[in-house]
Structure 1
Amino acid sequence: MSVKFGTDGWRAVIAEEFTFTNVERVAQAAADYWAAHPVPGTEKKVIVGFDRRFLSDQFAHRAAEVFAGNGFAVVLTPEPTPTPSVSFAVKGRRAVGGVMLTASHNPPIFNGFKLKSHYGGSSDAATCQAVESFLDRNPVKAITGSPLPSDGRGARGESSPDTRSPTPNSPITLADVRPAHYAALKKLVDFKLIAKSRLRFAHEALFGVGAGCFEQLLARTTCKVTTLNAQHDVLFGGINPEPIEKNYARSSAFLKKHPHDICLVTDGDADRVGGMDGRGNYLSTHQLICLLLHHLVVNRQGRGRVVKALTTTSMVDKMCAACGLELVETGVGFKYIAAEMLKGGVLLGAEESGGIGFPGHIPERDGIAAGLMLLEMLATERISVNKLVANLEKRFGPHCYGRLDTHFPLEKRAALMEFLQKNPP
């Protein structure tokens, strides 16, 4: 069965193409690639994480056993974990690469295999294509009997009575990689300012792995956090865990009855951000990107190149022109933005879907980091988010955005992409 990598790894329907056999094949291909292309300054180590989707913990465990069978030391998260936490661990622990079992914001029937490179970001197109070329070159090699993670609800795989207990001399180590990531986030923003701001905000977790992240980060501060839809539900409450308006009905209704200063939204694996104002009115990802750019330039006195995907609002273009900032436009997929961030000198990287990256961090979209930066903005400005949006529109004009999703058969995708490249809309 063919496996094709897209903009951020491989994604397929669970039990149709996304099977244990295919996960093993892709893990073996990644192991073969990383073994053939060692990176100076890194260790023969792979970080493996997973989200809350059906069987994600089991798929992650199977992938970890394949990497271990190929002589890699493996750090496996013990429970569902945000993608940016896994990416941060890849860089921080000097791993040659990482894998995140997630389909991010896609429908519940999907799962995915995201590749992360040693720098702590999405692997570029060349790396993904190279890994794909290693498929089935070698038979799958895997160990067995290694410690299993938890799906986050107390469930365990069928192994020993306590499957999280360390196995002597096992090349697989269970480790929570979130604390190191969260500690870095507190240094990325003015955390003391946020901590004393008395902000009262909601967090729409969309049933994803971001649930509880802001409560943990802002514990013992003056901020009050209300987390909505935090429960583990592999069906994501009947929605796709994507930060778009139609998925906010539950939290919007709550906010209309219980106003807050702002509502932050994270997607299924917490690498994207969305939002609403404190009364449940929609804030587009484009508005959030522009608010953050304004904050970085005006309040933080930041300078540098601004990198945006071509689907991102033209208000960014006008803001860059007004501020004398170089604007770089890329194709769709954060890996293209990450490539620019790796060159250095980037002030902000952003894409229409809510993926946002910051300098001084990892070259990766991080929904939790973006959420904290929005809180820093509110703590600095001390005016409502609606007023901040109105100020931008007064200066740069109102901007509108709409999106229609259309599904095309996979077998026609290559021809369609070629046609659109030659005949852009």
Structure 2
Amino acid sequence: MQIKFGTDGWRGVIAREFTFENLSLVAQTTMDYLHRENLAGKGLVIGYDRRFLSREFAERVAEIAAGNGITTWLTDGYAPTPAVSWAVHERQAGAGIMITASHNPAIYNGFKVKESFGGSARPSTTKVLEEMVAANKADNRAVVSQPLAEAINSGKVTLVNAREPYFRQLSRYVDLEAIRKADIKAVVDPMYGAGTGFIPELLPGIAEIHTLDNPSFGGQPPEPIEEHLQELSLLVKSGLYRVGLALDGDADRIGAVDETGEFFSSHRIFTVLLRHLYERKGLRGGVVKTVSTTRMIDLLAEKYGLTLQETPIGFKHICELMLGNDILMGGEESGGLGVKGHIPERDGILMGLLLLEAMAMSGKGLRQLLDETMDEIGHFYYQRIDAPIDNAAKERLIDKLKAGGIKAIASRPVAAENFKDGFKYIFADGSWLLIRPSGTEPVLRLYSESNDPGIVRELLAAGREIAGI
């Protein structure tokens, strides 16, 4: 089996691909990499989520780190990915490792690598790790480890609280007192994940659901998408709460429900927060978005005179730009958002707090804030479809689209093309269609946005016709 690092780390089904044997190989390779890059002397932070065996997997990684002579800080309980990333940054560690499969179904677990700057490993880094894993496997590289109890007693491994330093950073970034004074009735759904308890600990008046230790995540993947947030929506519709916030399994992504009880997509969150950061917090800098993200961001950036850059899908591409440029905010369609003055990392907890801060400072609900913005830049409608497609049909479609020749879609002339990640066709009125075959599964993703919902439906139907599905 080939071990590959996807958009954010290596993931696999527990006991099939994600085994202690494969984990040990990947962990040993990571230690080899840290020594090779002269990072081992700076130490390693290890954290884990609430999935089945995550603590045991993290402890095994710590044993291997200790065996390789690397000073290790192991979280003393489950922790969100952004808290682990912050610990890497604050301790100036050589790297971080987070045991999590993020929003994947419960049968999965995963291994995320965080670089010394406190963000996801860059594509260049994961490429090297993949090559080294394959070489170590071929060479039957011996795994060197030290029993955990012995490593702790010797001081090589230290159990640390990742919550308090992270809380201090959040308290510096967000005006928690303003939120407390506004007395916003809010409820959080951490989806049984690693973000459980974090927002209510900072803001004790906020309610929380789905907090039990439940590695099955209640029978659905811990992904804050509309179909998974029906209970949260009903709670807001009941009148008990004015807003609902949701976190994915490792709390690096955010979802929300507005004051009407309607799902508030990541595009809307990105739009509302960009305006909040610029207008209320007075922050400046460029903006980065992925190719599948709403055009509202383009128009807001234009309104504010901010530089806009577009990347392929995956926050690691945004992270790279945040490292080398003055970036105010970066975001992706899946709910991962990062901001200036923090770490170049997605942080669902911080984004949730910023939404509450925006409500507190404005005295308005999320829907009101969005409507105000849309009244200025236009109203937009967005839809995504995931359709099954076999690999042979997928390859034929890719060849067809690469060959070009598509001049019009749904009787609309194509004004521009963007093949940065998938095949994006842009029309004169700003409407667009993105046809993106998945690189890892037999799925075709179709995305469309327009200021007319009828045009969105037409473009998606035309996309299906082009793909033959």
TM-score strictly above 0.5: yes
Residue equivalent to 1:254: 235
Residues 73-88 of structure 1: matches in 2 within 5 Å? 73-88=71-86
Provide Cα deviations, 1:28-52, integer angstroms capped at 9, x if missing partner.
111101110024xx84311111111
Q: Show structure 1 runs of 5+ residues with no match.
A: 148-165
Look up the SS of the partner of 1:288 in the other structure: helix
1:298-309 → structure 2 map (5 Å cutoff): 298-309=279-290
CA distance in 2, matches of 1:15, 1:411: 30
5+ residue gaps, structure 2: 403-418, 424-434, 436-469
Give the match for residue 91 of structure 2: 93
Q: What CA distance in whole angstroms lies between the structure 1 residues aligned with 2:245 and 2:20?
A: 35
Are 1:126 and 2:124 counterparts? Answer: yes
Paired residue secondary structure (1:264): strand
Please say if 1:281 is aligned against 2:262.
Answer: yes
Query: Structure 2 CA distance, aligned partners of 1:401 and 1:382?
Result: 27
Q: Shift of the alpha carbon at 1:405?
A: 3.1
How does 1:143-154 map onto structure 2 within 5 Å? 143-146=146-149
Counterpart check, 1:49 vs 2:51 = no
Aligned residue identity for 1:276: V
Alignment match, 1:32: 32
SS of aligned partner of 1:140: coil
CA distance in 2, matches of 1:285, 1:301: 22
CA distance in 1, matches of 2:69, 2:377: 56
Contact 1:87 1:121 in 2 (8 A): yes
Higher relative CO (CA 8 A, sep ≥ 6), structure 1 or 2? Answer: 1
Is the contact made by 1:197 and 1:379 (CA closer than 8 Å) also made in structure 2?
yes
**What TM-score does the superposition give when structure 1 sets the normalisation length?**
0.89
Q: 1:234-383 residue pairs with structure 2 within 5 A?
A: 234-383=215-364
Greater Rg over alpha carbons, structure: 2
How far 1:129 sits from its partner (Å)?
0.9
Q: Greater shift after overlay, 12-21 or 128-137?
A: 128-137
Change (3 A) 1:180 1:413: farther
**Paired residues, number:** 401
1:197 equivalent in structure 2: 182
Give, in angstroms, the shift of residue 307 of structure 1: 0.7
- Answer yes or no: is the 8 Å Cα contact 1:241–1:267 preserved in 2: yes
Decide whether aligned partners of structure 1 residues 410 and 338 sit closer, same or farther in structure 2, where only a CA change above 3 A counts.
Answer: farther
1:102 aligned to 2:83? no
Partners of 1:17 and 1:285 lie apart in 2 by: 31
For residue 111 of structure 1, the aligned residue among 88, 109, 112 is 109
Question: How many angstroms apart in 2 are the aligned matches of 1:410 and 1:90?
Answer: 40
Q: Which one-letter code corresponds to 1:292 in the other structure?
A: L
1:399 maps to 2:396:
no
Residue 152 of structure 1: aligned partner = none
Residue in structure 2 matching 1:66, options 49, 64, 67: 64
How many percent identity over aligned positions?
A: 40
Tell me which residue corresponds to 2:445. Answer: none
One-letter amino acid of the counterpart of residue 140, structure 1: V
Q: Deviations over 1:172-192 (max 9, x none)?
A: 111111110111011012233
Q: How far apart are the structure 2 equivalents of 1:394 and 1:387?
A: 10
Flag the 1:98–1:308 CA change in 2: closer, same or farther, 3 A.
Answer: same
CA distance in structure 2 between the partners assigned to 1:119 and 1:405 by the alignment: 34
Report the Cα distance in structure 1 between the residues aligned to 2:68 and 2:396, rounded to whole angstroms: 37
Structure 2 distance, partners of 1:69, 1:414, is 45
By how many angstroms is 1:413 displaced? 9.5
TM superposition shift of 1:415: 10
- Alignment-derived partner of residue 439 in structure 2: none
Q: Is the 8 A contact 1:65 1:146 kept in 2?
A: no
CA change 1:413–1:85 in 2 (3 A) is farther
Amino acid corresponding to residue 9 of structure 2 in structure 1: G
